[in-house]
Amino acid sequence: MTESLGVGLVGYAFMGAAHSQAWRTAPHAFDLPLRPVLAALCGRDQAAAEAAARRYGFAAVETDWHALLDRDDVQLIDVCTPGDSHAEISVAALEAGKHVLCEKPLANTVAEAEAMAAAAGRAQARGVRSMVGFNYRRVPALALARDLIAGGRVGEIRHVRASYLQDWLADPAFPLTWRLQKEHAGSGALGDLGAHVVDLAQYLTGQLIAGVSGVAATFVPERPVPGGEGRTGPVTVDDAVAFTARLETGALATFEATRFASGRKNALRIEVNGSRGSLAFDLERLNELEFCDTAGFPGTTGFPGTTADPLTQGFRRILVTEPGHPYLSAWWPPGHVLGWEHTFTHEVRDLVTAIAQGTDPEPSFADGLQVQHVLDAVAASAAQDSRWTPV
């Protein structure tokens, strides 16, 4: 009988729902070495937490997250709260010997993220694992993109072009929620959306960002307070950021994150241009990867017969649903597409496997801290006339 892994979830909104779905589904899709058990859900509002627990399938409810750390039936804490509590909960959980999956961005400040990475390092020595939830690494198309780049299929990298465009703030009447308040969210589009594209750019290329130059804007500085009877309050985070960057090897990169791109609902787009080819991805077409192979498979030369025949060159639309594609053998026949929520199921698979094997899952808290350093450099540059800021 497979050993169980009790999960204690903190936070039960959007991310809590998505994580729960993954914890429930992963063992039915994959052969997991540990059997996840939805042990307890934690939320401060008892009634709401109980309703969520019923909906998501959790066996118990706590209203104080500290209580989760005392439960013997919980071996892993899944942190789905706003960013301002990530550090406190995660550090305490790791010190209590619980594995931790923490949503991104890792923290609201570099200082918090450093504390978390340090705690993760100490915990690791005791066999306690931690992972930050950059779920888009587990989009099969992006995992394939990384494999192709690592295999030399795009050659030496020249350009990365990344943007994450949403539009839910385009309407000035949208209310002033916690995501628009610096004390809760840390930053706006930068941390929420920019964190994803920074992580992906580094993950896909296998290179770190060496320096940045950024600009930021808050287009709508005041918004209605929810339940405020017409009162408004100040938006204290960025509505949008844009920044240029250089990777370690000198490639140029451009980044943009915004909640004001009317008509773009969840357009995380990333393109990588190299000396041998290019890759392009759009999250709104999650099952597709575009690949243009301009120089052929490394080690082959000339054409025809190779992938580089110039007369038939072009961006090919790979439907990433073949059994040989990352994560796909667990799912459906070719052409039967996956959804956004599958990224979390894949995350759970990899995390549970790492825990069982006693290895460190990726991305680590250290990876999350490094992304935080990049975001911090962007904010610093934006505050200082876009001055080039090394990471």
Q: Which is nearer to a second copy, 310 or 358 (CB)?
A: 310
Least spacing, CB of residue 252 vs a second copy, in Å: 5
Least distance from a second copy to the Cβ atom of residue 244, Å: 5
Q: Which is nearer to a second copy, 339 or 358 (CB)?
A: 339
- The β-bridge relationship of strands 252-258 and 240-247 is antiparallel
User: Which CB sits closer to a second copy, 110 or 340?
Assistant: 340
∠ CA 237-284-308 to the nearest 5 degrees? 120
Report, in Å, the least distance between residue 80 CB and a second copy: 14
> Residue 94 or 165: which CB sits closer to a second copy?
165
Strands of the sheet containing 99-103, edge to edge, are: 60-62, 35-42, 4-10, 76-79, 99-103, 130-133
If phi over 0 gives left and psi between -120 and 50 gives alpha, with beta otherwise, what is residue 302? left
Contact status, residue 19 vs residue 344, Cβ threshold 8 Å: yes
CB of 267 to a second copy, least distance (A): 7
Among 21, 1, 35, 62, which Cα is nearest to 353's?
35
**Least distance from C-beta 96 to a second copy, angstroms?**
28
Nearer to a second copy, 86 or 246 (CB): 246
99 three-state secondary structure: strand
d(CA 44, CA 66) in angstroms, rounded, equals 11
- Report, in Å, the least distance between residue 155 CB and a second copy: 8
Question: Which residue in the block uniquely carries the two structure tokens 């002033």?
Answer: 176
Tell me the C-alpha distance between 137 and 364, whole Å.
Answer: 12
Closer to a second copy by CB, 86 or 153: give it. Answer: 153
